[in-house]
Amino acid sequence: MNSKENNHSHHDHEHDHAHSHLPSDPELRVKAIETLLLSKGLIDPNTLDELIDTYENNIGPQNGAKVVAKAWVDNDYKKRLLEDATSAIRELSYQGRQGENMVVVENTPEIHNVVVCTLCSCYPWPVLGIPPTWYKSDEYRSRAVREPRKVLSEFGLNIDSKVQIKVWDSTAELRYLVLPMRPIGSENMSEAELAKLVTRNSMIGTGLPENVK
């Protein structure tokens, strides 16, 4: 595992052949198909935007939220998740491309974890859905490593100076998921109720779970 607070070391991504007719990267292939369908008037752009928003913010992150909630209530599952995240996540039937090799990093009162992909936009689709636009931006990919505290503050997340920030650089071979700290006051909540508190950004490290109302 490669973590760092402000220093970026080069890592290699596994890329398919660049000279094939169709893009080999799944995201590029989807974009090519989307462009073709839009140009032929076969899909409505507004409907497409709504569909993408649903998968980006609801369906995908709900899977990760269930993983987190189970870890909060089941110490044995949490132990398995931290030791072998891929297998533990598979126990809940969340698996597939972009999630073959997972590592879960736990937030504690002393450590706050943030996930980035500095060379492209590697992202654990089975548990988080479609990556948000900002995650793929050049600005986030570079600044999250160089000045993570400032970037987090721009997300509205101000981390105490005594807390260490660890930045985890995802690759084509390894994807990360943050296990956020369980919210205070949630001791009597059910697993399903807890899952509703887990936000997508809290599993990337750019946010926290919702507060208990």
As annotated, the active-site residues are: 117, 120-122
Contact 177, 164 (CB under 8 A): no
The DSSP element (H or E) to which 165 belongs, if any, is strand 164-169
Neighbouring C-alpha atoms within 13 Å toward the C-beta of 47: 7
Contact 212, 185 (CB under 8 A): yes
CA 212, 111, 92, 171 torsion: positive or negative?
positive
Residues 48, 204, 117, 121, Cα dihedral to 10°: -10
Q: State both tokens at 30.
A: 């989807």
